[in-house]
With several copies, the nearest count.
Chain A
Amino acid sequence: MVTLETKLGSLKLKHPIINASGTFDVLEADKVLQADLFNEFPFAAYVPKTVTMQPRTGNEPPRLYETAAGLLNSIGLANKGIESFIAEDLPRLASLPVPVIASIAGERTDDYGRCSEMLAGREEVAGIELNVSCPNVELDGKALGCDPGRTERATALAQAATSKFLIVKLTPNVTDIVELAQAAASGGADCVSVINTVHGMALDPWTLKPVLGHTTGGLSGPAIKPVALRAVYMVSHAIDLPVIGMGGVTTAQDVLEFLAAGATAVAVGTASFRDPLPGARLAGELVDLMEVRGIDSVKELVGRA
């Protein structure tokens, strides 16, 4: 008998598949899709889009372009701001049958502490993901997530502000991602998410000018799966925290591989654009793949590569 139940640090998950921030919006999906999302939520936890202290309109369009087996985006953290998120969205998310993991990003290092503090008292929030790695914004001058010292400090500020389950989301756009994972661990993270999107760019086939309004963007989808799998493998071997693996997860076979590479849970992003509610389907298929391999639990699977 295969069981998919798993523990991500202090969070109990009914299966190891969650959504990646910015790619699935339950409040919108509930309006548009034929599905009873507040009763049968397809993922084992819900991660809303990243919010920041101030509302952000995001980058100039176009913001999307498809590349070979990949997607470039330059959304630029368009969001309503953490205050509206807390006032309008959180109460509605309270009735979800799964843990909610808020995602926050800072314009300055201090913001990670301030946002965490604002969420600290909210019961609806089970965990907080610090997005220190969005490639589409230059908050705080240069990317904070490329600098171990500042990543550690942002984490420590959040850690001091809240006792919630704290996840730091790492960027692959660095010489050594392990160094950043170690910085997050030193700062007091409970978990790391690996990986955010990979720096990329596309030109319009006809005009030969950058397609994206923001010139460059972040690459996601199956194209980056090998990059993500390596990062998960390296990070999970180097630090003692649980890892949420993501980057191109599209099939149950991908879930299996990320878990084997060392992830304790796996997030689905771009694949939600091929199938808007992949969580439950992938979990079902994962059971089959584990069964034929004689693997009974996620625990047995994690890190077996």
Chain B
Amino acid sequence: MGDLPIPASLHDCPVVESRPVGSYRLVSFVAREVAALARPGQFLMVRAAGYSLDPLLPRPLGVHDIDSDLVKILIEPVGRGTMSLASLRVGDRLSVLGPLGNGFSLTGAGPALIVGGGIGAAPLTLLARALAERGRHTECLLGFKTRGQAVAAELFRNADVEVFTEDGSMGSEGLISEPLPECLRRMEAAEIFACGPDPMLAAVARTARDCGASAQVSVAAHMACGVGACQGCVIKTRDGYRRACSDGPVFPAEEIAW
């Protein structure tokens, strides 16, 4: 996926904003080079700079948004790494490696459907904007567990967004896999771009195949190096194990062995 890889490097970045967005946390930091280079679907390896050796390693986080020199990430605090990143405050510093990974390929044409599940929505804002800039008709289906997460949909601003929650506390009730086929047909969408939990991505892959659309999916895996060196982040594909960090994180849906 994506185009030619762009050189990544390690950046020391001051946090300039950190605010809650529902149960997520939106953190902005200054990172001029990353802001200039990053493309939709790429990710960063992010950790707090400082004396502590715990958490030890950076965590992979999607580039959520770019605003001149500022890079924004959206964090779901699920474990010690993300919790400690979510607890950083203005003035704290981040160590950031990136931009990394292939990102979404934007060479296609025709109507595009963006599908996001939970925190998987984070990197899709940048993508929605990039597709719109390319003049492609784009709609977004975003699915969340509950309202506390779903309020993150507001971060998609001008995009055409439909929200689903499992408990019906915001938008329509249900999983996005349900409206997906109907929506694809209505839009006559040629291409799906998806990021979210594995079962959602598998459903996207199935639906795309059934409807004759192509699909690009961004997968998740535990990572250590983020640059293809450790073989730690592999996922099962039709060609055997491939690295989520440097062969991905975006893959053509049909390549993944679900």
Q: Do chains A and B touch in the complex (CB under 8 A)?
A: yes
* B5, CB-defined interface residue at 8 Å: yes
Within the complex, which residue of B8, B10, B236 is in contact with A61, where a contact is CB–CB below 8 Å? B236
Within the complex, which residue of B53, B100, B225, B226 is in contact with A23, where a contact is CB–CB below 8 Å? B225
> By the criterion of a CB under 8 Å from any partner CB, how many residues of chain A are at the interface?
38
Contact with B along A42-68 (1 / 0, CB 8 A): 000000010000000110011111101
Knowing A66-B56, A222-B56, A273-B225 are in contact, say whether A23-B230 is a contact too (CB < 8 A).
yes
Task: Report Cα–Cα, A276/B227, bound state, in Å.
Answer: 9
CB under 8 Å from chain B, chain A span 1-52:
22-25, 28-29, 31-35, 49
Query: Which residues on B sit within 8 Å (CB–CB) of A109?
Result: none
The answer on a CB contact under 8 Å between B9 and A35 is: yes
The answer on a CB contact under 8 Å between A34 and B7 is: yes
The answer on a CB contact under 8 Å between B53 and A250 is: yes
Within the complex, which residue of A31, A49, A69 is in contact with B53, where a contact is CB–CB below 8 Å? A69
Q: What is B's interface to A at a CB cutoff of 8 Å?
A: 5, 7-10, 47, 53-58, 79-81, 95, 97, 100, 221-236, 240-241, 246
The answer on a CB contact under 8 Å between B8 and A65 is: no
The answer on a CB contact under 8 Å between A66 and B241 is: no
Knowing A58-B234, A61-B235 are in contact, say whether A33-B227 is a contact too (CB < 8 A).
yes
Task: Report Cα–Cα, A277/B80, bound state, in Å.
Answer: 23
The answer on a CB contact under 8 Å between B235 and A32 is: no
The answer on a CB contact under 8 Å between A57 and B54 is: no
Smallest CB separation, B220 vs chain A (Å): 11
Contact with B along A102-126 (1 / 0, CB 8 A): 0000000000000000000000000
Q: What is A's interface to B at a CB cutoff of 8 Å?
A: 22-25, 28-29, 31-35, 49, 57-58, 61-66, 68-71, 73, 75, 78, 205, 221-222, 250, 270, 272-277
The answer on a CB contact under 8 Å between B241 and A270 is: no
Smallest CB separation, B60 vs chain A (Å): 11
Knowing A33-B9, A64-B223, A71-B224 are in contact, say whether A57-B56 is a contact too (CB < 8 A).
no
17 A–B pairs (Cβ distance < 8 Å), ordered by A: A22-B231, A23-B230, A28-B246, A32-B228, A33-B8, A57-B240, A57-B241, A63-B231, A63-B232, A64-B223, A64-B224, A64-B232, A66-B55, A66-B81, A66-B222, A73-B232, A222-B53
The answer on a CB contact under 8 Å between B221 and A274 is: no
The answer on a CB contact under 8 Å between A58 and B55 is: no
List 11 additional A-B contacts (Cβ < 8 Å) besides A58-B241, A75-B230, A270-B57.
A25-B227, A25-B229, A28-B246, A32-B8, A61-B234, A61-B236, A62-B221, A64-B233, A272-B229, A275-B10, A276-B10
Smallest CB separation, A57 vs chain B (Å): 6
Task: Report Cα–Cα, A205/B81, bound state, in Å.
Answer: 13
Task: Report Cα–Cα, A265/B38, bound state, in Å.
Answer: 38
Task: Report Cα–Cα, A25/B243, bound state, in Å.
Answer: 14
Task: Report Cα–Cα, A58/B243, bound state, in Å.
Answer: 12
Smallest CB separation, B244 vs chain A (Å): 9
Within the complex, which residue of B5, B47, B224, B231 is in contact with A32, where a contact is CB–CB below 8 Å? B5
The answer on a CB contact under 8 Å between A270 and B56 is: yes
Secondary structure at the B interface, as helix, strand, loop or mixed, is loop
The answer on a CB contact under 8 Å between B222 and A62 is: yes
Query: Which residues on B sit within 8 Å (CB–CB) of A23?
Result: 225, 229-230
Task: Report Cα–Cα, A198/B237, bound state, in Å.
Answer: 30
Smallest CB separation, B35 vs chain A (Å): 15
Task: Report Cα–Cα, A23/B232, bound state, in Å.
Answer: 10
Query: Which residues on B sit within 8 Å (CB–CB) of A28?
Result: 227-229, 246
Smallest CB separation, B93 vs chain A (Å): 14
Within the complex, which residue of A34, A58, A69 is in contact with B54, where a contact is CB–CB below 8 Å? A69
Query: Which residues on B sit within 8 Å (CB–CB) of A61?
Result: 221, 233-236, 241
The answer on a CB contact under 8 Å between B7 and A274 is: no
Task: Report Cα–Cα, A61/B233, bound state, in Å.
Answer: 7
- Name the residue in B5, B100, B226, B234 with the highest tally of chain A Cβ atoms < 10 Å from its Cβ: B234
